[in-house]
Amino acid sequence: METIDLSDNQFSGEIPINTFSCLSLRFLNLSNNNLTGPIPEGSVPRLQVLDLSNNMLSGEIPEVIGLFSGLEFLDLGGNVLVGGIPKSISNMTGLEYLTLASNHLVGEIPRDLGFLKGLKWLYLGYNNLSGGIPMEIGKLTSLNHLDLVCNNLTGEIPPSIGNLTDLRYLFLYINKLIGPVPRSIFGLKNLISLDLSDNFLSGDIPELVIQLQKLEILHLFSNNFTGKIPNDIATLPHLQVLQLWSNNFSGEIPKKLGNQNHLTVLDLSTNNLTGKIPEGLCESGDLFKLILFSNSFEGEIPNSLGHCKSLKRIRLQNNRLSGDLSPELTKLPLVYFLDLSNNNLSGTISGRTWEMPELQMLSLARNKFFGDLPESFGSEKLKNLDLSDNGFSGKIPASFGNLSELMQLKLSENEISGNIPRELSSCKSLVSLNLSHNQLNGLIPSSLSKMPVLGQLDLSVNQLSGEIPGNFGEMESLVRVNISHNRFHGHLPSTGAFLAINSSAVGGNHLCGGDPTTGLPPCKGVKTPVWWLFVTCALILLAILILFSFLVVYVRQRKDLDLELKRVENEDGVWELEFFDCKTSREIEVDDVLSSMRDENVISRGRRGVSYKGTCAKSNRQFFIKQMCETSSCLKGSELGKLRHQNIVRLIATCRSEKSGFFMYEYVEGKILSEVARGMSWERRGKVGLGIVKALRYLHQHGLPGGGLGSELLPEKIIVDGRDEPRLRLSMLCTDTQSFISSANFAPESIETKDITEKSDIYGFGLILIELLTRKSPADEEFGAHGSVVEWARYCYSDCHLDTWVDPMVRGQVLNNQNQIVEAMNLALHCTAGDPMARPCASDVVKTLECVIRPRCCLFRP
């Protein structure tokens, strides 16, 4: 046998040890399976190709791998290998392709790799490698692809990389590299793509960049570069993508940029650039992404952009641009995202034809536009329309009701008058509606209460009058309302979003009633009908009967539970074993629990106790044991023992004595999320996220807030079983108030009880969702200037650099799932809102996430 290719199947289990005993083998490919366990040790001297990538192989890379001296191709990427890179790899002197990417490797890059003179491809990205890039890398003179991305590499880039004259691709992004870019790199005349983004590099870009005549992609964003953008960069004939955002560049954009190259993507946002936007950026007719926001550009938007039919995404907000919009700019056929907000643009926008059939997001906010609102923007796909903080007047066009996909509408801080059109209720996808600070009058259309997903409504500071429609209190989706400073009168609804609404959101009216927190006076002069008294008495009597029946059933159940108590006495005193499952009570004895409390069965140790894996002597059934703290201050597990949900690990029993106690859970066969998420598809990640929030909803519906999914929940604390179902294990938290939390496996060690609420659960879920999408977690130390993973995610989402923030392992699926991924990130950011009241409830999150990952199912939802 010379060739074995079993790739792209669903094989599981360990690789047989005798696989490497076939001395005639030349080609072995087991990639893209579900293989586990360590890499077998052995030696096949004639083996030339070894591909074990994209499995679940664990353990360290064996040192004896260097005995495979004839290897030309070695790919161990996409596993969960740990430890360092063995120096013995340098014995494979004929190696041409080496990738160890997407593992958990640590330590430094061995200097001995410099002996692999024939190496053409070196890919060590997406690990936890540290230390500097060794100078010996410069000895790999045959190298044409060097990829060390997403590690913790420090120090400066060694000048010896300039010796790699055959190098075409140099990727060092997302590390902690410092200092200037070595001048020698600009002598690599064969470079096609250079990506040094997301580091701490400084200095300027020298005019030597003109030597990179074959360069197509230049990514230097998210660093500390200063100085001017060199004019010679505009003369690179093959340059297509230039991304320098989030630096400290100053001066003007090179005037000839775009004239001599085929720019497709230009992103210079978040710098200190000044001057005017050059006319020739789209000279080639290929530019589809123009991102220049957060600079100090001035003057008018170039007329040439209105003729750039290839443009799809334009972001010029937060500058000093002036003048009006050219008629051509509103007729670009492919533009789906147009943000010109926070400039000094002026003029009217209604007396023109809008023909933008692909437009999904339009923001003209914080400018000086005036006049009527246009009847149409030439698109039925609009999802986000922000015209706030301008001088628009006239009425809200009834035609806005035709925007069936609209999710957010902001018309606040204008001079709009007239009634709120009833047609807006036809916008069934609308989540946020802000009409505040205008001159609207008349009543609130009761039809707005029929909007199925409306979550935020701001009508404050207008001249609206009449009563608040009573059915507004019945809107399940509505979580935030502001109706302050109008002319409303009558009763305030006492249900839904109006329950305990803040006084600042209802003040400045003539309303009464509501919760005491509203600050409104009680309603007077309302007589209760006699028939209603009879109904009330009947309901009270019925409630008493139901309560009595419940107490009878409860007492009987309590007696039944008491019968399930097992007791045994030893040197620690009397132990009681209380069961919540009949089958378990017949199988597990107290001795099974006590005998499991041995060091060899320890799973973890923490401030809140020790966790063990136990086994039943009768049936060989396995279970999990979590140590209690002092039982006198712990809540009994009876209520938790009744919980039944496919995403919650069942609590099957408690075992306690006077001195200590344990919770017993069913044993779930699976792996922690951090181990399996790396290889998960977008669809599988969506299923996991949906399972987690369904468990939260279940807990909240049963009056058990504070599921423990606070800001410290990590994917390592979630077990995913073989059906991709996440499982959360309930646990007790000892406190003076006898509160509890649920966590996946183990309770977070520093969550304060006062912070454990339904809203903190939702915040924690938002963090999980961000990590599923980006593989960034709160534990990551470096987020540049963004301060936290949430702020970093908000920045990335607002700029929509989808290819830069989505997990690289699912980038290949972005094309078919782009909308779902973006909407999932939008949901994650809503869940992690700074104001807890702005976070949705678990039920709404479930609905939204189901629509994101199963959009067809939502089409038939009533």
Q: What is the pLDDT of residue 116?
A: 93
What's the CA gap between 76 and 98, in Å, rounded? 8
Residue that wins the pLDDT comparison between 395 and 835? 395
Rg (CA), the chain: 32
Strand 56-57 with 34-37, pairing:
parallel
3-state secondary structure of 487: strand
- Structure letter (DSSP) for residue 825: H
The string of DSSP codes covering 183-201 is: GGGGG-TT-SEEE--SSEE
Per-residue pLDDT tens over the stretch 803-828: 677 887 776 676 677 777 878 888 88
- Segment 533-560 shows an average pLDDT of 61
**What angle (nearest 5°) sits at the alpha carbon of residue 599, between those of residues 597 and 605?**
85
* Average pLDDT across the chain, whole number: 82
Buried b (16+ CB within 10 A) or exposed e, 594-608: bebbeeeeeeeeeeb
Residue that wins the pLDDT comparison between 472 and 295? 295
Pair of tokens at residue 859: 């089409």
SS percent in the chain: helix, strand, coil, step 5: 30, 25, 45
Per-residue pLDDT tens over the stretch 108-128: 999 999 999 999 999 999 899
**pTM for this structure?**
0.67
Pair of tokens at residue 833: 């809102």
Q: What is the pLDDT of residue 856?
A: 47
Q: What is the pLDDT of residue 334?
A: 94
pLDDT category of residue 509 using cuts at 50, 70 and 90: very high
What's the CA gap between 496 and 135, in Å, rounded? 65
- Segment 16-23 shows an average pLDDT of 82
Residue 750: pLDDT over 50? no
Residue 27: pLDDT over 70? yes
pLDDT category of residue 348 using cuts at 50, 70 and 90: very high
Residue 559: pLDDT over 50? no
What's the CA gap between 287 and 306, in Å, rounded? 12
3-state secondary structure of 246: coil
Q: What is the pLDDT of residue 234?
A: 92
Pair of tokens at residue 645: 């949900």
Residue that wins the pLDDT comparison between 250 and 755? 250
CATH topology classification for 670-858: Transferase(Phosphotransferase); domain 1 (1.10.510)
User: Most confidently modeled of 26-35, 663-672, 734-743, 794-803?
Assistant: 26-35
Residue 651: pLDDT over 80? no
CATH class of the 565-666 domain in this structure: alpha beta
Residue that wins the pLDDT comparison between 319 and 665? 319
Distant-in-sequence, close-in-space partners of 596: CB < 8 Å, separation ≥ 6:
612, 613, 614, 615, 625
- With contact defined as beta carbons under 8 Å apart, do 96 and 121 qualify? yes
pLDDT category of residue 633 using cuts at 50, 70 and 90: very low
Distant-in-sequence, close-in-space partners of 69: CB < 8 Å, separation ≥ 6:
45, 91, 92, 93, 94
What's the CA gap between 765 and 694, in Å, rounded? 11
What's the CA gap between 720 and 677, in Å, rounded? 9
Q: How far lies 815's CA from each of 418, 501, 658, 803, 822, in Å?
A: 43, 42, 60, 10, 12
Pair of tokens at residue 229: 């953008």
Q: What is the pLDDT of residue 606?
A: 53
> Would the CA dihedral through 743, 789, 802, 173 be positive or negative?
negative
**What angle (nearest 5°) sits at the alpha carbon of residue 775, between those of residues 773 and 778?**
110
CATH topology classification for 395-522: 3.80.10
Q: What is the pLDDT of residue 855?
A: 58
- Segment 333-354 shows an average pLDDT of 93
Per-residue pLDDT tens over the stretch 195-247: 999 999 999 999 999 999 999 999 999 999 999 999 999 999 999 999 999 99
Q: What is the pLDDT of residue 735?
A: 32
Length of the chain: 862
Please choose, from the candidates 237, 275, 238, 285, the residue with its C-alpha nearest in 3D space to the C-alpha of residue 253: 275
**Looking up tokens 């096949």, which residue turns up?**
44
Please choose, from the candidates 809, 821, 804, the residue with its C-alpha nearest in 3D space to the C-alpha of residue 855: 821
Residue 562: pLDDT over 50? no
Residue 742: pLDDT over 50? no
- Segment 516-544 shows an average pLDDT of 67
SS3 readout for 595-636? HHCCHHHEEEEECCEEEEEEECCCCCCEEEEEECCCHHHCCC
Q: What is the pLDDT of residue 238?
A: 93
Q: What is the pLDDT of residue 570?
A: 64
pLDDT category of residue 416 using cuts at 50, 70 and 90: very high
What's the CA gap between 313 and 131, in Å, rounded? 39
Q: What is the pLDDT of residue 203?
A: 95
3-state secondary structure of 102: coil
Residue 93: pLDDT over 50? yes
Pair of tokens at residue 461: 């500071």
- Segment 333-349 shows an average pLDDT of 95
Pair of tokens at residue 858: 């939502």
- Structure letter (DSSP) for residue 805: H
What's the CA gap between 116 and 96, in Å, rounded? 8
3-state secondary structure of 502: coil
CB atoms within 10 A of CB 613: 14
Distant-in-sequence, close-in-space partners of 91: CB < 8 Å, separation ≥ 6:
66, 67, 69
AA identity, residue 254: P
pLDDT category of residue 708 using cuts at 50, 70 and 90: very low
3-state secondary structure of 384: strand
Q: How far lies 239's CA from each of 215, 232, 704, in Å?
A: 6, 12, 57
3-state secondary structure of 409: strand
- With contact defined as beta carbons under 8 Å apart, do 111 and 87 qualify? no
The string of DSSP codes covering 703-746 is: T----S--TT--GGG-EEETTS-EEEEEEE---TT--EEEESSS
Distant-in-sequence, close-in-space partners of 620: CB < 8 Å, separation ≥ 6:
none
Buried b (16+ CB within 10 A) or exposed e, 533-569: eeeeeeeeeeeeeeeeeeeeeeeeeeeeeeebebeee
Please choose, from the candidates 30, 732, 840, the residue with its C-alpha nearest in 3D space to the C-alpha of residue 453: 840
Per-residue pLDDT tens over the stretch 709-721: 333 556 666 788 8
CB atoms within 10 A of CB 524: 7
pLDDT category of residue 18 using cuts at 50, 70 and 90: confident
- With contact defined as beta carbons under 8 Å apart, do 280 and 307 qualify? no
Strand order of the β-sheet with 651-656 is 566-570, 573-579, 651-656, 661-666, 622-627, 609-615, 602-606
Per-residue pLDDT tens over the stretch 584-632: 656 677 677 777 777 777 766 554 556 777 777 666 677 777 765 544 3
Q: What is the pLDDT of residue 281?
A: 93
> Would the CA dihedral through 163, 165, 167, 168 be positive or negative?
positive
- Segment 767-771 shows an average pLDDT of 86
3-state secondary structure of 392: strand
Please choose, from the candidates 124, 42, 119, 30, the residue with its C-alpha nearest in 3D space to the C-alpha of residue 77: 124
Residue 744: pLDDT over 70? no
Q: How far lies 265's CA from each of 182, 457, 621, 741, in Å?
A: 25, 37, 59, 48
Label residue 570 exposed, middle or buried (CB < 10 Å: 0-12, 13-18, 19+): exposed
Residue that wins the pLDDT comparison between 677 and 509? 509
CB atoms within 10 A of CB 861: 9
Residue that wins the pLDDT comparison between 847 and 87? 87
Residue 397: pLDDT over 60? yes
Query: Which helix (H) or strand (E) covers residue 123, if one does?
Result: strand 121-123
Residue that wins the pLDDT comparison between 129 and 496? 129
Residue that wins the pLDDT comparison between 232 and 561? 232
Pair of tokens at residue 562: 């008491």
Query: Which helix (H) or strand (E) covers residue 14, if one does?
Result: strand 12-14
pLDDT category of residue 857 using cuts at 50, 70 and 90: very low
Q: How far lies 780's CA from each of 27, 44, 714, 792, in Å?
A: 39, 41, 12, 11
**What angle (nearest 5°) sits at the alpha carbon of residue 769, between those of residues 765 and 772?**
140
Label residue 583 exposed, middle or buried (CB < 10 Å: 0-12, 13-18, 19+): exposed
Pair of tokens at residue 195: 């990506």
pLDDT category of residue 252 using cuts at 50, 70 and 90: very high
Per-residue pLDDT tens over the stretch 417-471: 999 999 999 998 898 999 999 999 999 998 998 888 888 899 999 999 999 987 8
pLDDT category of residue 392 using cuts at 50, 70 and 90: very high
SS3 readout for 519-574? CCCCCCCCCCCHHHHHHHHHHHHHHHHHHHHHHHHHHHHHHHHHHCCEEEEECCEE
